[in-house]
Amino acid sequence: MVTPTLLISATGSLVLSTSTRLGRVVDRVRHLEDRLSDLIYVDNKDEVPLYDKRVEVIVDLLDKVTSRSRLLQKAMATFYYGLGFFILTSVTIAIAGLFNIYRWLPIPIGIVGIFFLFYGSLLMLRETRMATATINAEMDFTWELARKVAPKEVASKYAHRGRRGGMMFARLKRKNGTGVSNTSQDE
Q: Dihedrals φ, ψ of 123, to 5°?
A: -60, -40
Report which DSSP code applies to 46. G
* Better pLDDT: 153 or 179: 153
- How far is it, in rounded angstroms, from Cα 104 to Cα 5? 18
Q: Has residue 185 got a pLDDT over 50?
A: no
The pLDDT score that the predictor gives to residue 110 is 95
Report which DSSP code applies to 181. -
- Compute the average pLDDT of residues 92-113: 93
- Using CA atoms, how far residue 17 sits from 21, 24, 67, 141, in Å, is 6, 11, 18, 29
Domain limits, the chain: 2-141, 150-187
pLDDT tens for each residue of 41-57: 988 888 888 899 999 99
The pLDDT score that the predictor gives to residue 22 is 96
- How far is it, in rounded angstroms, from Cα 114 to Cα 108? 10
The pLDDT score that the predictor gives to residue 69 is 96
Rounded to two decimals, the pTM is 0.76
pLDDT tens for each residue of 76-93: 999 999 999 999 999 999
pLDDT tens for each residue of 107-156: 999 999 999 999 999 999 999 999 999 999 999 998 888 888 888 888 77
Q: Has residue 182 got a pLDDT over 50?
A: no
Residues 6 or more apart in contact with residue 33 via CB below 8 angstroms? 62
**Would you say 89 and 104 are in contact if contact means Cβ atoms under 8 Å apart?**
no
Q: Has residue 164 got a pLDDT over 60?
A: no
**Would you say 89 and 4 are in contact if contact means Cβ atoms under 8 Å apart?**
yes
- How far is it, in rounded angstroms, from Cα 159 to Cα 185? 8
The pLDDT score that the predictor gives to residue 160 is 62
- Compute the average pLDDT of residues 12-19: 95
- Using CA atoms, how far residue 123 sits from 154, 155, 170, 173, in Å, is 42, 39, 36, 39
- Compute the average pLDDT of residues 65-74: 96
